[in-house]
């Protein structure tokens, strides 16, 4: 990709992370294709916008024509009924990977989630090599997404990076964020590195800031060439007492509560 990232397609471009990526990558690409099921307006000369649902496999494949990389952020962003998660997350991801295979896309970045391991104890440091312990159906859908990424890397030779995204916020606002916060600066740092790192077959990395209390090992980020710089601890004095993670003892906090999933069953 050289000094320019070439043509990058961003799915879920209207979302919170997608919006930050859109602004952050504008000056680093030749062409930025923004995909979402809601309408977007072009804001820069390098931008193109496409409006469709990721379940439309042919539209996905067409949008990936000529792409050097795809940043796949689209999908259902939280706990939901399993059929919705299978449709929006698993099927949508399959269509992105299959479209990338057909179009010869050089790098696929998949947005995974820390919720894939939310049932580990808060006292334990978790690394990507450890077995999944999802804290809900949303986490289960992310297990499937990572498995699809591994399949397409192993079977079809795609270069795939799965970023297990932490709590993406401008600043941490709750006690769990002291461990899980991902600052906008570090988020863009991980994504830029994931797009440019050479010789990647398949990598899974926790995208989390350098929080002193973090639950997850960040050493795998070295494979991408990025080390996070921000630490939620500087915001700790303004964070209210813990009512989530301490009560459950689990990394997922309230997300791991039975009721959080039962209301969707």
Question: Could you tell me which residues are beta bridge partners of residue 51?
Answer: 36
Report residue 137 CA to chain centroid gap: 16
Closest CA to 191 of 12, 38, 54: 12
Q: In degrees, to the nearest 5, what angle opens at C-alpha 136 toward C-alphas 161 and 231?
A: 55
How far is it, in rounded angstroms, from Cα 116 to Cα 77?
13
Closest CA to 108 of 205, 30, 18, 202: 202
Closest CA to 230 of 169, 173, 186, 180: 186
Supply the residues annotated as catalytic.
138
* Inter-residue contact 112 to 190 (CB < 8 Å): no
- The set of residues, in sequence order, having a beta carbon less than 8 Å from that of 57 and lying 6+ positions away, is 95, 98, 99
Question: Could you tell me which residues are beta bridge partners of residue 162?
Answer: 110, 204
| The residue to which tokens 């952050």 are assigned | 24
Copy the structure tokens of residue 44. 């820069």
């Amino acid at each position: 990709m050289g000094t320019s990232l070439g043509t990058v397609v961003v799915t879920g471009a209207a979302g919170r992370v997608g919006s930050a990526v859109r602004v952050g990558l504008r000056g680093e690409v030749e062409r930025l294709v923004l995909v979402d099921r809601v309408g977007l307006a072009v804001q820069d000369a390098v931008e193109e916008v496409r409006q469709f649902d990721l379940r439309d496999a042919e539209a996905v494949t067409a949008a990936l024509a000529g792409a050097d990389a795809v940043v796949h952020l689209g999908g259902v962003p939280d706990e939901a009924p399993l059929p919705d998660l299978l449709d929006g997350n698993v099927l949508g991801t399959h269509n992105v990977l299959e479209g990338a295979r057909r179009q010869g896309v050089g790098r696929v970045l998949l947005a995974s989630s820390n919720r894939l391991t939310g049932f580990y104890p808060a006292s334990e440091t978790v690394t990507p090599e450890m077995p999944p312990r999802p804290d809900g159906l949303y986490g289960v859908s992310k297990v499937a997404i990572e498995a699809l990424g591994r399949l397409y890397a192993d079977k079809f030779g795609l270069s795939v990076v799965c970023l297990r995204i932490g709590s993406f916020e401008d600043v941490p606002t709750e006690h769990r964020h002291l461990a899980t916060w991902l600052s906008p600066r570090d988020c863009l740092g991980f994504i830029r590195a994931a797009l440019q790192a050479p010789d990647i077959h398949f990598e899974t990395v926790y995208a989390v800031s350098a929080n002193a209390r973090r639950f997850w090992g960040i050493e795998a980020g070295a494979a991408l060439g990025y080390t996070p710089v921000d630490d939620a601890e500087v915001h700790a004095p303004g964070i209210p007492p813990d009512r989530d993670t301490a009560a459950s003892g689990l990394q997922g906090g309230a997300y791991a509560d039975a009721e959080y999933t039962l209301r969707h069953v």
